[in-house]
Amino acid sequence: MTRTVKLLIGGFLAAAVVFGLLWSNQPYISTKNPATLTLYALDGNAFAKPDVEEEFHKYPVLGKVNIQSAKTRMEIVAAINAGVAESGAMAKCFWPRHGVSVADGKKTLDFVICFECFQVKRFDGSSDSTVATSAKREPFFDKLLTDAGVKLAAKK
Q: What is the pLDDT of residues 117-143, one digit of tens each?
A: 999 999 988 888 888 899 999 999 999
Query: Is position 154 within any domain?
Result: no
Dist. CA 93–CA 10, nearest whole Å: 34
Query: Is position 72 within any domain?
Result: yes
Query: Is position 105 within any domain?
Result: yes
Query: Is position 5 within any domain?
Result: no
pLDDT of amino acid 106: 84
Q: What is the domain count for the chain?
A: 1
Q: Which residues sit opposite 56 in a β-bridge?
A: 59
Query: Is position 19 within any domain?
Result: no
What's the CATH code of the domain at 98?
3.30.1490
The proportion of the chain whose per-residue pLDDT surpasses 70, expressed as a percent, equals 76
Query: Is position 58 within any domain?
Result: yes
Which contacts of 46-55 are long-range, i.e. CB under 8 A and separated by 24 or more positions?
46/95
Whether this prediction's pTM lies above 0.75 is answered by: yes
pLDDT of amino acid 37: 96
pLDDT bracket for residue 107 (50, 70, 90): confident
Q: What is the DSSP letter of 59?
A: E
* 9 has a pLDDT exceeding 80: no
Other beta carbons less than 10 A from residue 140's beta carbon? 15
Residue 38 has phi, psi (to 5 degrees) of -120, 130
pLDDT of amino acid 22: 40
**Containing domain of residue 83, as a range?**
28-147
Q: Nearest CA to 83 among 137, 46, 15?
A: 137
Q: Nearest CA to 142 among 18, 29, 40?
A: 40
Query: Is position 12 within any domain?
Result: no
- At 13-63, the pLDDT tens digits run 333 333 433 443 444 677 777 899 999 999 988 566 667 789 999 999 999
Query: Is position 16 within any domain?
Result: no
